[in-house]
Homo-oligomer: A and B are copies of this chain.
Amino acid sequence: VVKRDVTRVITPGTLTDESLLTEEQVNHLAAVCFHSDTEASIAWAELSTGSLHIAILPISSLADELARVNPSELLYAETATGDTPDRIKALSNSLGCPTAPRPQYNFRHAEAIETIKRQYQVQTLEGFGLAPDNPALAPAAAIIHYLLETQRSESGRLSHLQPPRLFERKNHLVIDQTSLRSLEVEQTLRTGQTEGSLLSTLQNCVTAMGKRMLRHWLCYPLCEQAPIEQRQRVVEALVSDSRFLEQLRESLDNVHDVPRIIARLSVGRATPRDLVGLGRSAQAIREIEDLLADRPTVSDYHARAKDLLEVLTTLAEKINAACVETPPAHMREGGLIKDGYDAQLDEYRVLQRDSHAWLAQYQASLLEAHDIPNLKVGYNKVFGYYIELTAVNRDKAPDSWTRKQTLKNAERFITPELKEFEGKVLSADSHAISREQHLFETLCSRAAKQITQLQNFADLVAELDCLGCFAQQAIKHRFIKPTITQDPVLIVRAGRHPVLDQLLGDQFVPNDNDLGLTNLASNYKIDSESSPPALATLGLITGPNMAGKSTYIRQTALIALLAHTGSFVPAEHATVGIADRIFTRIGASDELHTGQSTFMVEMTETANICHHATPKSIVILDEIGRGTSTLDGLSLAWAIAEHIAQTKSRCLFATHYHELTTLADQYDNVTNLNVTVREWQDQIVFLHRIAPGSTNRSYGIHVAKIAGLPKSVLERANILLSQLAVSHEGPAALPTP
């Protein structure tokens, strides 16, 4: 019998049950440990798939990285007073997740090493590529402690938990919490729902692990050219061969949620359906391997598939040989194992089904052997099975029969064979069930031995699924392959917002981007006829409200982000230089309830950008300086724009301060853009098209007119506007950098 825990503590971070977790949902348990005023380490695990990651971070990046992890529960070392430390409270607030204090000693380094060695039964951690002084071992150990305590698993001691993998920030494009939110990668800003987000718009994976991987790919874009191009090549191959794409997705569709099945296997909570699903999934390897064969672009994936082929096929055969195709939901009443698989089980089942036939046969054999008239074999609830002789024949019973009951007209006997039969029949049911459970357990253990291969298989499937999803999107929504380059440029022709484009269809107006240093321009001819684009690193966008500035700057950031995931992008042409970070400072913030004023939030986010933007960064700024007085705000916006211009990050800066457009005269790498508006018979029509050049009109008074402000007020405002100007006193000298 599979041992089941009598008690299991369920906490937000340790959910594994399918009923409580959708297949797309990633449920992270995280732990944090502060090492100094500047450094912290974190670990995060997904119990339902067994992944465990660790990272060492500057404290300034802690909230951002935890936001990407998006934990459901955060563990921290309890304090002597029992109070929650302020920085834990702040994290909990910004992440919106509960926290749990854990004993200090769970986080102690020396003990952490022992905990991890014990968990993985190793003598040294170097095999995992981890130095013994890695500070992030402490939160990892805290997580292991917590899982052992809450899961109380005797079997396997969380055997599916993978060794801690060090997360290297430098391998990924950095996207901070604010940008993830304002770009609506995982959820929309207004409603906080998945629907309408980038993820849900692109989501097209056929497997559960693919769906989870897609989220990961979008939140952790790559930042090296080679791996991005490697993904692109596969997507391209799939796009160009739609039969291949279709077949691949069909094959992948047979793969169940393998990581979650092995997680349940390893804690002894797998169901018969899990086992059968695992068999069916493992079987899919043959078709996948076959599909990938002889295609140079996917040779890496083919090699990985080939490595797994034998082990998984064997496992699949084992499971398929043993199990029926439509297994029961649980083992309580058996029904999983096929007839003919196990002789002992077959016998129990024969006993269950064929007791009548056996008795008839036994009676016939007795009659034949003893020739006693009216001999009968019968059954009664109190006395069980018996051989009955009529009273006149009672003395004809052989000595080997044992007298059991004497009636008026009959005598009843029992024989050893009958006794054994009785025992067998009466317990056949429970025996059959426990035999099935034993066989089930054996198969589970057999499968559990292949945990590593199964995890590799799941990773392979997830990756192929995401690439297939990218290809599917590219075909369906006319995405093209962006050219990836080391030059910090961002050149897009007819780019579209990936979410709004699908929502609005033909109504959406595509737009171009030409960001980068001027001296790079000649490298990036769009096509043979046209002249190379004129580049600038900073595009200042002016223009009226409602004209599509916000959409344009968001779409630019999203195209850059998608390009870094290896996905194709919604445009007619795109050349994207590798970025180190994408920063955004967009729109009204949600943080009003935390007591900070909008302006404080705006400045905090902008300060973060000023400090961390580099020539490789992509920066999106919307209406900086709006929350304070005219000249304060203008000065700040001005100084910030100059700072970014000097940093030479690729930046789009949407602003109401038309005064900033003079920056283009001072800086070579600053250009003015505006949203085109057609004035027609006293109406204004927003064309949603971004064009070079500055605008000197914001149509504010025009909007006021449409809104119905009295004529006298409008006339006065126009007079005032014609008289007002922002003047500089003294030279607008550039500060020394």
Contact = CB atoms under 8 A, between A and B. Distances in A.
Contacts of A133: none
Given A607-B704, A628-B700, 16 more contacts: A546-B599, A597-B703, A599-B703, A600-B703, A604-B707, A610-B710, A626-B626, A630-B659, A632-B700, A635-B721, A640-B713, A643-B713, A719-B733, A719-B735, A726-B726, A727-B727
A593 interface: yes
A725 B723 contact: no
A408 interface: no
A728 B542 CA distance: 23
Contact of A708 (B607, B700, B713): B607
B728 A723 contact: yes
Interface of A: 190, 542, 544-546, 588, 592-593, 597-600, 603-604, 606-608, 610-611, 625-636, 638-640, 642-643, 656-659, 698-701, 703-704, 706-710, 712-730, 732-733, 735, 737
Contacts of A642: 713, 716
Contacts of A718: 635
A727 B730 contact: no
25 contacts: A190-B592, A546-B597, A546-B599, A600-B707, A604-B708, A610-B709, A625-B700, A627-B700, A628-B698, A630-B634, A632-B721, A634-B720, A635-B718, A635-B721, A639-B717, A639-B720, A643-B710, A712-B735, A712-B737, A722-B729, A723-B730, A723-B732, A726-B726, A726-B727, A727-B727
A658 B629 contact: yes
Given A630-B726, A723-B732, A726-B724, A703 B658 contact: no
Contacts of A598: 545
Contacts of A546: 597, 599-600
Nearest to A643: B713
This chain's copy number in the assembly: 2
Contacts of A631: 658, 721, 724-726
A558 to B, nearest CB: 20
Contact of A658 (B603, B630, B701, B732): B630
B629 A656 contact: yes
B600 A706 contact: yes
Instruction: Return the 6 tightest CB-CB contacts between A and B, nearest first.
Output: A632-B700, A628-B700, A629-B698, A603-B707, A639-B717, A607-B708
Contact of A724 (B599, B606, B634, B658): B634
B713 A545 contact: no
A656 B628 contact: yes
Chain A facing B: main interface SS: helix
B720 A732 contact: yes
Contacts of A719: 733, 735
A546 B595 CA distance: 9
A728 to B, nearest CB: 5
A720 B635 contact: yes
Contacts of A636: 700-701, 704, 709, 713, 717
Given A588-B588, A628-B700, A713 B610 contact: yes
Given A629-B657, A639-B717, A700-B628, A611 B708 contact: yes
A724 B727 contact: yes
A510 to B, nearest CB: 21
Contact of A630 (B610, B630, B701, B717): B630
Nearest to A732: B723
B611 A701 contact: no
Nearest to A698: B629
Most chain B CB atoms below 10 A, which of A606, A716, A729: A716
A712 B643 contact: yes
A597 B709 CA distance: 16
B724 A643 contact: no
Contact of A544 (B542, B628, B710): B628
A547 to B, nearest CB: 9
Nearest to A638: B720
A716 B703 contact: no
B603 A630 contact: no
Most chain B CB atoms below 10 A, which of A630, A721, A724: A630
Contacts of A634: 630, 720, 724
A700 to B, nearest CB: 3
Most chain B CB atoms below 10 A, which of A632, A635, A659, A720: A632
A251 to B, nearest CB: 42
Nearest to A718: B635
